[in-house]
Structure 1
Amino acid sequence: MSLKINSPLVSVDWLYNNLENENLTILDCTIPKVTNKSQNSTVKKQIKGAIFFDLKNIFSNKNSPLPNTVLSAKEFQEKAQELGIQKNAALVCYDDLGVYSSPRVWWMFQLMGFNNVAVLDGGLPAWKAKKHPIESPKNQQPKKGNFKVNYKPEKLIFTKDVLNSIEKKEVLIVDARSKGRFYGTEPEPRNDLKSGHIPNSVNLPFTEIQQNGKMKSKEVLEDIFKDYKNKKQIIFTCGSGITASILALGAEIAGVKNVAVYDGSWTEWGSTTNLPIAL
């Protein structure tokens, strides 16, 4: 029987119990953390049977001057098929840092109209803590998949859309960066990027919806996002679209709809001339 995922977040025990399901595909979505300058020399390990989902080099538009720019629907479908992803797959996304880059991949599949996908709560650290099976990465040549895109353009927002939304009270722009970056009291990790935030946006650092590398409970997230439900649209932004997706995941768990991610985020806004900036 095909495996159906009924929540945007699954536990390591759920994954372990379904590890042998023929429809399960585990995606290692790890990327380096942009604010972490230290090099990790630990030997790479992955969850047993996982496939590396190369967010930086394959599933981002390399022709864009901005980091992490989402692929077109056609390109995403082709790359997902090349990775061996099937249209009847049950996808579980995880990363080595807990819950960091995996929500970006979860959100990308949502953007592409695929809903049988979840994030592994706690990621590889939580998996290893339970002593569930890990292995060294393998160079696999997967059989081509038949994954199909059903693109949902309302989930992706561009600079012009954000600019047009600044004065709209029915739209809420929410920034996932730290308070220091939001208010310009600490430098941006990317060189030559202005400090501050989008006017009329609010700050919800992604770390405030997490605890010990996991997402906070559904009840706590519902309380955090309770005032968001009366808005016509929620636009999540961050540095380059990664941690904005963590907020999108939290909102989904809390039952908040009409959510979109500003793909260029502060990297685009803070490097574009003639755009308003608040401190």
Structure 2
Amino acid sequence: MHIQLKNSIVSVDWLQEHVHATNLIVLNGTIPKVVGDTAQQETQQIPNARFFDIKKVFSVLNAPFPNTMISVEAFTEKAQKLGINQDSAIVVYDELGMYAAPRVWYMFKSMGFDNIAVLDGGFPAWRAAKYPVEAKIPFEGKRGDFQGKDQLYLFKNYPEMLQTVANDATIILDARSEARFTGNVPEPRAGLRSGTIPTSKNLPYTEVLHKNSFKSKEELQTIFSAFNTKKTPFTFTCGSGITACILALAADIADYTSYYVYDGSWTEWGSVHR
């Protein structure tokens, strides 16, 4: 049985019901914990999950800013190595609940691939439902035939952000916490100044979530309409381009169709713009 995903999020119950679909691929999009973190590392996964390594595989290594999006050619090559096909139906989850998985969703969208959804509630919700888990194993299956299509315009770069700010072309929403947005607490990255992108407004990513799951479509529409009554395009930003994608996914759920993510986010803007 082949499946076509109709929504950008799916529940753990839906995933368990469709786990045997022949074109289903489950990706674990968790960002590994930082060095020195003493928290216990997760040793189990949803059955047959494949690790989508944002940091070490699907970002430009040695780039001046973290999580820099890779080229269409590089993404295609690495996705094929994960056994992803043109007709795959992808569900991506996060061990932390809801953090980096929307970044994976958005990356695939920038490759012209839409048959992908995020697991609402992530691995904690899967565990809470007492669905099967297995020990983590590296993917060793056959190569896929995935072919990315260039829609990288969905990621804005620094020159485009300068133009966006100057022309007030979109509504810029910053997903960082209010304390970071206002500069009341320092940025977590050493040497990075506090501040905000001119004209931007603050919508902490936690505001679109209830615990690890997204709020309802109606609640999200209310949240976004408070910033945007005319459905002007949004540009989402954060610290390094991860939680901005949570806002992008929330906007998608709320039926917005025009939105962008600033790939470099505040790490780039705060470093190069004075």
Which TM-score applies when normalising by structure 2? 0.96
1:56 maps to which residue?
Answer: 55
Matched, 1:235 2:235: yes
Deviation at 1:38, TM superposition (A): 3.8
Distance 1:9 1:21, change over 3 A: same
Instruction: Give the 3-state SS of the residue equivalent to 2:167 in structure 1.
Output: coil
Aligned partners of 1:225 and 1:256 also within 8 Å: no
Instruction: Classify the secondary structure of the residue corresponding to 1:200.
Output: coil
Unaligned 5+ segments in structure 1 are none
Alignment pair present for 1:264 and 2:264: yes
Q: Indicate how the Cα distance of structure 1 residues 38 and 140 shifts in structure 2: closer, same or farther if over 3 A, else same.
A: closer
Letter matched to residue 97 of structure 1: L
Q: Say whether the 8 Å CA contact 1:167–1:200 is kept in structure 2.
A: no
Is the 8 Å Cα contact of residues 50 and 138 (structure 2) preserved in structure 1?
A: no
1:173-202 residue CA offsets vs partner (Å, 9 max, x unmatched): 110000111111101010000101001100
Which whole-Å CA distance do the structure 2 matches of 1:37 and 1:123 have between them? 24
- 2-structure distance, mates of 1:41, 1:221: 33
* Amino acid paired to 1:60: S
Q: Contact 1:228 / 1:256 at 8 angstroms: preserved in 2? A: no
Establish whether residue 26 from structure 1 lines up as the match of residue 19 from structure 2. no
Q: Is the 8 A contact 1:96 1:125 kept in 2?
A: yes
1:192 and 2:184 matched: no
**Equivalent position amino acid for 1:71 in 2:** I
Hey, what does 1:141 align to over in structure 2?
140
Give the deviation of 1:218 after TM superposition.
1.1
Q: 1:198 to 1:224 in 2, by over 3 A?
A: same
Aligned residues: 273
CA drift of 1:229 comes to 5.8
Superposed displacement of residue 233, structure 1: 2.5
CA distance in 2, matches of 1:113, 1:130: 33
Runs of 5+ consecutive residues of structure 2 not aligned to the other structure? none
Letter of the 2:60 partner, please give it: N
Q: Name the aligned partner's letter for residue 27 of structure 1.
A: L
Counterparts in 2 of 1:158 and 1:42: CA distance versus 1, 3 Å: closer
Letter of the structure 2 residue corresponding to residue 270 of structure 1: G
Who is 2:112 aligned against? 113
Instruction: Identify the residue that residue 218 of structure 2 maps to in structure 1.
Output: 219
Moved more, 136-145 or 258-267: 136-145
Partner residue in 1 for 2:130: 131
Q: Distance in 2 between matches of 1:37 and 1:241?
A: 23
- 2:165 corresponds to: 166
Residue 111 of structure 2 aligns with an amino acid whose one-letter code is: M
Kindly report structure 1 stretches of 4+ aligned residues shifted beyond 3 Å: none
Query: Aligned partners of 1:42 and 1:258: how far apart in 2?
Result: 37
Matched, 1:249 2:249: yes
Structure 2 partner of 1:4? 4
Q: Which amino acid is the alignment partner of residue 267 of structure 1? A: T
Higher mean C-alpha displacement, 150-159 vs 100-109? 150-159
Whole-angstrom distance in 2 between the partners of 1:177 and 1:37: 23
Residues 85 and 145 in structure 2, CA contact (< 8 A), matched pair in contact too: yes
One-letter amino acid of the counterpart of residue 255, structure 1? D
CA separation in 2, counterparts of 1:71 and 1:169?
A: 28
**Partners of 2:51 and 2:138 within 8 A in 1:** no
Q: Which whole-Å deviations, capped at 9, do the CAs of 1:94-139 have from their partners, x for residues lacking one? A: 0101111000000000000000000000000000000001111113
Does the 8 Å CA contact 1:92/1:120 hold for their aligned counterparts? Answer: yes
Residue identity over aligned pairs, in percent, reads: 48
> What is the letter of the counterpart of residue 135 of structure 1?
E
SS at match of 1:199: coil
Is the contact between residue 172 and residue 231 of structure 1 (CA under 8 Å) also seen in structure 2?
A: no
* Residues in 2 aligned to 1:202 and 1:100: alpha-carbon distance in whole angstroms: 21
TM-score normalised by L of structure 1 = 0.94
